[in-house]
């Protein structure tokens, strides 16, 4: 059990490099601002879901190790995708906050 915990924790230092390898740096370069906003919302939802799953797994005995093994890689990938999306949005001068426009005139 101790060996498994050490192996899981030793991967934490490499997580930034590994997740960076799994995400294409040019993935969001062809997105338009509306697409980036939608993708940002999707990634935020996915991040919250994975974080909740890891928190739920850590409630049980030994669940932290299981949660790390099962969900941490996906979670790190989502975080890396969010960084790349923010960078692409900044390059295209897009705000990742949804803007609402109405087709009606206020009277």
Q: What is the mean pLDDT of residues 79-107?
A: 80
User: Could you report the per-residue pLDDT of 14-54, keeping only the tens digit for each?
Assistant: 444 444 555 777 888 888 999 999 999 999 999 999 999 88
b/e string for 52-62 if b means 16 or more Cβ within 10 A?
eebeebeeeee
**What's the CA dihedral at 22, 25, 16, 43 to 10 degrees?**
-80
Question: Which candidate, 52, 107, 101, places its Cα nearest to that of 74?
Answer: 52
User: Rounded to two decimals, what is the model's pTM?
Assistant: 0.67
Whether residue 100 is predicted with pLDDT greater than 70 in this model: the reply is: no
Q: What are the extents of the domains in the chain? A: 28-98
Residue 18, helix vs strand vs coil: helix
């Amino acid at each position: 059990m101790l060996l498994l915990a050490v192996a899981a924790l030793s991967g934490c230092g490499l997580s930034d490099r590994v997740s960076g390898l799994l995400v294409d740096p040019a993935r969001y370069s062809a997105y338009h601002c509306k697409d980036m906003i939608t993708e940002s919302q999707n990634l935020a939802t996915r991040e919250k879901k994975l974080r909740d799953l890891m928190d739920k797994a850590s409630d049980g005995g030994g669940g932290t190790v299981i949660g790390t093994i099962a969900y941490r890689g996906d979670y790190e990938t989502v975080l890396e995708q969010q960084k790349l999306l923010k960078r692409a949005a900044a390059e295209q001068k897009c705000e990742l906050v949804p803007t609402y426009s109405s087709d009606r005139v206020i009277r």
